Homo-oligomer: A and B are copies of this chain.
Amino acid sequence: MNGLMMQQPLLISNLLKHAERHHGEREIVSRRAEGDLHRTSYAELAVRARRLANAIEAHGIGFGDRVATLAWNGYRHLELYYAVSGSGAVLHTLNPRLHPDQLTWIIEHAEDRMLCFDLSFLPLVEAIATRLPTVKAFVLMTDRAHMPAASKVPNLICYEELIESHEPTYEWPVFDENTASSLCYTSGTTGNPKGALYSHRSTLLHSFAAALPDALNCSAQDVILPVVPMFHVNAWGLPYVACLVGAKLVFPGPALDGKSLHDLFEAEGVTVSAGVPTVWQGLLSHVEAHGLAFSTMRRTIIGGAACPPAMLSSFQDRHDVHVIHAWGMTELSPLGTVCVLKPHQRSLTPQDRSALQAKQGRVVFGVDMKVVGPNGDALPHDGKTSGDLLVRGPWVISSYFKGEGGDPCINGWFHTGDVATIDADGFMQITDRSKDVIKSGGEWISSIDIENIAMAHPAVAMAACIAAHHSKWDERPLLVVSTRPGASATREQLLSFFEGRVAKWWIPDDVVFVDAIPLGATGKIQKNRLRDRFKLHRLPTDGP
- Checking B220, B363, B368 against A214 with a beta-carbon cut-off of 8 angstroms, the contacting residue is B220
Q: Is A426 an interface residue (CB 8 A)?
A: yes
State the CA gap A409–B333 with chains docked (Å): 35
Q: Is A121 an interface residue (CB 8 A)?
A: no
- Min CB distance A457 to B, Å, is 36
Q: Knowing that A4-B400, A212-B213 are A-B contacts, what are 7 other residue pairs whose CB atoms are under 8 Å apart, sorted by A's residue number?
A: A1-B180, A5-B178, A5-B394, A6-B395, A14-B365, A18-B368, A220-B343
Q: Is A262 an interface residue (CB 8 A)?
A: no
- Min CB distance A41 to B, Å, is 13
Q: Is A493 an interface residue (CB 8 A)?
A: no
B245 adjacent to A368 (CB under 8 Å) = no
State the CA gap A489–B90 with chains docked (Å): 69
Q: Is A246 an interface residue (CB 8 A)?
A: yes
State the CA gap A198–B2 with chains docked (Å): 8
Measured CB to CB, the residues of A under 8 A from B are: 1-8, 10, 14-15, 17-18, 21-23, 25, 63-64, 90, 176, 178-181, 196-202, 205, 208-209, 211-214, 217-221, 244-246, 248, 333, 340, 342-343, 362-363, 365, 368, 392-401, 409, 412, 414, 425-426
B23 adjacent to A198 (CB under 8 Å) = no
- Min CB distance A321 to B, Å, is 18
B3 adjacent to A201 (CB under 8 Å) = yes
A179 adjacent to B1 (CB under 8 Å) = yes
Chain B residues near A248 (CB-CB < 8 A): 343
Name 6 interchain pairs, CB-CB below 8 A, sorted by A: A3-B198, A5-B201, A208-B212, A214-B246, A220-B340, A221-B343
State the CA gap A6–B221 with chains docked (Å): 33
A401 adjacent to B5 (CB under 8 Å) = no
Chain B residues near A201 (CB-CB < 8 A): 3, 5
B365 adjacent to A245 (CB under 8 Å) = yes
State the CA gap A7–B397 with chains docked (Å): 9
B365 adjacent to A199 (CB under 8 Å) = no
State the CA gap A2–B175 with chains docked (Å): 11
Chain B residues near A18 (CB-CB < 8 A): 363, 365, 368
- Min CB distance A141 to B, Å, is 25
Contacts A394-B10, A399-B4: A365 and B412 contacting too (C-beta < 8 A)?
A: no
B2 adjacent to A176 (CB under 8 Å) = yes
